[in-house]
A and B are shown apart, each in its own frame.
Chain A
């Protein structure tokens, strides 16, 4: 065993900058998923954007979160020596360390490929199970709220806010961790493959949330695609950080954890808000801000155009970027017909939901669908949303 010649140094600032960029992309994709017109995709952009969100979630928070849970396992699967170096770095700064492994990229790749396959199969299984469960918009809303709370709880756990938040982390059964640990002692090519597959038993918090989302898709294919996109997203970050794991040490690991915590917290609130939207709650951020700043939608030239006709017909343009106008005004105490007009609309705005009426319809990409709105009291508001809780709008009833 020779002395290490050049210890690679990774500036934490650079890593955080990269992380911030990835996070910005993720948030931008979640907040502004509408601009699907700029991407020439003939197929259903709602599915594509959902997969893109899964991928970006993986590349940002998922990779780092998985690192915290599975990084040590990967390191120990490469060689037992690495784990010892990894844990023993503190207090041994000047001690002799082993030479960098020249070919660790190969077993890491094997590990990640096995992980990718295993999680894709798991996604298919979850989606298949989900297909036997009927998820109404309200059920999905509750599921999303639960996922959001789970993510927020996990973030608060990472911030060490209160001991109770530690229970948001699921501890795998002892027999599984023992089996995985003892298998990790091997050094053959088979070991990284096997351990990569076994990581399905020790998913990180973000992965668990993504698994719940895969369950909610109700489709084996979509569940598999979602988990594939997410796990693929985790792979680059996981690869790079795992490769450098022995060099980073515990101090930087804590630094990463804080970054992950912030990212998970933000995504948790986004998921929670989407769930509230899907439930038709006036307390969602979008619905609250729309009522607090009504001028935002009024200033939109498209938003002002269609107003209720005298014959009680409303027109709502369902576009790739959402619903226009976002606020419709309608006469109270009168049955109305809401015309949902799509024109080459491929985003999830097509999956139209009016939670209070328990109405759900997948609109045609081009065409008009009529919905009968029963008479509502003056001063009441009827919220509508897409099935993912991303695009929202409201009908305000007045005298």
Chain B
């Protein structure tokens, strides 16, 4: 399991963090996501053999946000 932080500068409220955390259920290989609107970032714990950074960034983009590795 790998733990990584992504900056998501276009979150506008706490609901954005909730939407991003919903990837926990949508993405295979994710153990946990903690998104913070206060910090404009998310910490994701995932299985790197099942998921890549690009896939995570693409999934976040599909939710309407931009993610970059911190």
Contacts and interface: CB of A to CB of B under 8 A. Distances in A.
Interface of A: 68-73, 87-88, 90, 158, 163, 166-167, 169-172, 174, 177-178, 180-182, 185, 202, 250, 254, 257
B51 interface: no
A171 B39 CA distance: 11
A197 to B, nearest CB: 17
Interface in B28-43: 34, 36-38, 40
Contacts of A174: 21, 34
Nearest to B24: A178
A90 B36 contact: no
Given A68-B12, A169-B14, A254-B12, 17 more contacts: A69-B14, A73-B15, A90-B64, A158-B12, A166-B38, A169-B13, A169-B37, A169-B38, A171-B14, A171-B37, A171-B38, A172-B14, A174-B21, A177-B17, A180-B18, A181-B21, A181-B25
B21 A177 contact: yes
> For chain A, what secondary structure do more than half of its interface residues adopt (helix, strand, loop), or is it mixed?
helix
A181 B37 contact: no
A202 B14 contact: yes
Contacts of A167: 38
Contacts of B22: 181
Top 6 A-B pairs ranked by shortest CB distance? A87-B64, A177-B18, A171-B14, A87-B63, A69-B15, A166-B38
B19 interface: yes
A250 B64 contact: yes
B26 to A, nearest CB: 9
Nearest to B21: A177
A70 B34 CA distance: 19
Contacts, number: 57
22 contacts: A69-B14, A69-B15, A70-B15, A72-B18, A87-B64, A90-B64, A158-B12, A166-B37, A169-B14, A169-B37, A169-B38, A171-B17, A171-B36, A171-B38, A172-B14, A177-B18, A177-B21, A178-B21, A178-B24, A182-B25, A185-B25, A254-B12
B62 A87 contact: yes
Contacts of B38: 166-167, 169, 171
Interface residues of B, number: 19
A185 B26 CA distance: 12
For A68, A72, A166, A202, which residue has the most chain B Cβ atoms within 10 angstroms? A166
B41 to A, nearest CB: 12
Interface string B2-17: 0000000000111101
A192 B52 CA distance: 35
Nearest to A92: B62
A90 B63 CA distance: 10
A150 B3 CA distance: 35
A90 B64 CA distance: 7
B10 to A, nearest CB: 10
Nearest to A254: B12
Contacts of B62: 87-88
Contacts of A68: 12-13, 15
